[in-house]
Amino acid sequence: MSSAAAETRSGPFAFFARDFTASIVVFLVAMPLCMGIAIASGVPPEKGLVTGIIGGIIVGLFAGSPLQVSGPAAGLAVIVFEFVRENGLEALGPVLLLAGVIQLVAGALKMGGLFRAISPAVVHGMLAGIGALIVIGQFHILFDAKPMSSGLENIAMMPARVLGLDLSSVSATELALGLGLLTIVIMLGWEKLRPKSMALVPGALLGVVAATAVAWMLGLGVARIEVPASIGSAFALPTSADWFAPLANPSLIIAAVAIAFIASAETLLSAAAVDRMHDGVRTEYNKELRAQGIGNFLCGMVGALPMTGVIVRSSANVQAGAKTRLSTILHGTWILGFVALLPWLLREVPMAALGGVLVVTGWRLVSLKHVQHLLKAHGYLPAAIWAVTFILVVTTDLLTGVLVGLGLSLVELLPHGRDLGLKVQEHEDEAGPRLELHGAATFLGLTRLNAVLERQPADRPVHLDLDRVRAMDHTTAETLSEWISRRRQRGHQDRVTGPASILKPLPLAT
């Protein structure tokens, strides 16, 4: 029985045992990441834990992607860090509340498909830039020091940190670096050497536990995370009408729009990736967008971090055997219980250990495989868009990098400026459904094309007829490639026909 049938016929408890065990795995993955991302964002670690609780219990209940896990994301750490540095932590709440409202409205207006039409080169270039900023920022945390105010300043200070080490006179700096490196080595080593029977045990958790144990047993004088004695104090509810005053500042409204845009794009990108990992319920993108809006609205009300759907925790959820949304909800419950009952244990965790977790997490976001794929499959322009977005995110700011990347993606439209229309016609032939595309297949027509692709039957082969497609941009090609690959993996014998130039970037085309 599929998970779709399970939720429909037997309710959310149809696979209780599998969801229960999966929730524990996700909880163990989420704990160090929630705290580490909060620290990378320049806010107290409990703010990340609150976001994880809301993302699990509340967003998990309403999510359009039942197996996707929501919480604080590395993709927003940089923009939050810069925002808090310039405007203060107290301004984050109302701005995040507005971002949640924007997402709610976007979901109600059925705009989820528009975010899926964003150039993959821009999205992955943005994520790579964020990953690089996290690495160079958390590099300083490894030395028990605070990151600088910009990416370039962090890069400039890196040699001084290394040259300032004095192994002949070990102090907090050298001890913290040792704990951070221990965390990194255990994380990477565990992933290489772990037995199959323990494949679901997260390396990040083992690294943090080991560094915490060493620091505690040896009584090392290194910086540790600060957690309030009561979880209630981590929920900072509005106390006066002045709480909404930041929303009168146009620059903060722009920040809310930027957070909503990036959070939505990352969430729906993650949801699409989760859909490729399982054969259960497909994502309802507009419902997912509304659920994220509810989550970010609540995070704004209690002064927590912004949230998105996150691929690391979501993939752990699927791999651990989760079948329904109950796993996501339970993982949020475990975070709440742990923080409420064992705050003293969290206070023993060295800051450098979480810095080590974030260095590895950030490094993995800098995926050169994607730009290599863009270059090989689609040519120089998409690869250039990735590179420009990446460089600008690192050297200027996130919003500039994304906007310039989106602007460059319009260059692909120039050769077809007079006729950018795409017609998608559905026919019923003897062999099965036939989708016939006419015109220029660009991201402008991708929302409608996605809607047609997703309503194709799961039990019959489909003929994708591209004979009359004049041109195809990399965004559409990537979308079709994912659709074809997903159906081929499920055993569908779909046909794809068209000119060689159009079929070249598509997989398994015959």
Does residue 393 form part of some domain? no
Confidence band of 12 (pLDDT split at 50, 70, 90): low
Same domain, 345 and 462: no
CB 34, CB 71: distance < 8 Å:
yes
Same domain, 347 and 433: no
Q: DSSP per residue over 141-173, as a string?
A: HTTT----SSHHHHHHHHHHHHHT--TTS--HH
Distance of alpha carbon 388 from alpha carbon 121, whole angstroms: 10
- Host domain of residue 21: 15-351
Does residue 359 form part of some domain? no
C-alpha distances out from residue 379 to 326, 466, 485, Å? 43, 20, 21
Mean predicted confidence (pLDDT) in 347-357: 91
Q: Which two tokens stand for residue 310?
A: 């996150």
Same domain, 473 and 325: no
Per-residue model confidence as pLDDT tens digits over 89-101 = 889 999 999 999 9
Distance of alpha carbon 383 from alpha carbon 377, whole angstroms: 10
pTM of the model: 0.82
Per-residue model confidence as pLDDT tens digits over 463-507 = 999 999 988 999 999 999 988 888 887 777 889 999 998 998 888
Same domain, 173 and 279: yes
Per-residue model confidence as pLDDT tens digits over 453-464 = 988 888 889 999
Q: Which two tokens stand for residue 152?
A: 């370039």
Which residue matches tokens 């989420």?
Answer: 30
Q: Which two tokens stand for residue 59?
A: 């967003």
Same domain, 213 and 345: yes
The residue out of 317, 351, 385 marking a domain boundary is 351
Does residue 375 form part of some domain? no
Mean predicted confidence (pLDDT) in 107-113: 90
Same domain, 122 and 244: yes
Same domain, 336 and 435: no
CB 71, CB 310: distance < 8 Å:
yes
Exposure string of 468-492, with b = 16+ CB inside 10 Å and e = fewer, is ebbbbbbbbbbbbbbbbeebeeeeb
Q: In percent, how much of the chain has pLDDT > 70? A: 96
Could you tell me which residues come within 8 angstroms of residue 210 by beta carbon, excluding any fewer than 6 positions away?
Answer: 182, 183, 186
Distance of alpha carbon 48 from alpha carbon 38, whole angstroms: 5
Does residue 372 form part of some domain? no
Q: Which two tokens stand for residue 428?
A: 């019923």
Per-residue model confidence as pLDDT tens digits over 410-423 = 888 887 766 788 89
The residue out of 335, 351, 367 marking a domain boundary is 351
Same domain, 333 and 456: no
Same domain, 343 and 459: no
Distance of alpha carbon 465 from alpha carbon 456, whole angstroms: 14
Number of structural domains found in the chain: 2
Same domain, 221 and 105: yes
* CATH number of the domain to which 474 belongs: 3.30.750.24
3-state secondary structure at position 83: helix
- pLDDT beyond 70 at 445: yes
For the CA atoms of the chain, what is the radius of gyration? 23
What per-residue confidence (pLDDT) applies to 9?
Answer: 47
Same domain, 67 and 199: yes
Per-residue model confidence as pLDDT tens digits over 281-293 = 888 999 999 999 9
Per-residue model confidence as pLDDT tens digits over 220-266 = 999 998 887 777 777 877 777 778 888 888 989 999 999 999 899 88
Does residue 388 form part of some domain? no
C-alpha distances out from residue 380 to 33, 153, 403, 442, 491, Å? 35, 31, 19, 17, 33
Does residue 177 form part of some domain? yes
Same domain, 317 and 426: no
Does residue 196 form part of some domain? yes
CB 355, CB 38: distance < 8 Å:
no
The residue out of 351, 377, 395 marking a domain boundary is 351
Does residue 379 form part of some domain? no
Could you tell me which residues come within 8 angstroms of residue 463 by beta carbon, excluding any fewer than 6 positions away?
Answer: 429, 431, 432, 433, 434, 435, 494, 495, 496, 497
Could you tell me which residues come within 8 angstroms of residue 80 by beta carbon, excluding any fewer than 6 positions away?
Answer: 41, 42, 43, 92, 259, 305, 306
What per-residue confidence (pLDDT) applies to 509?
Answer: 46
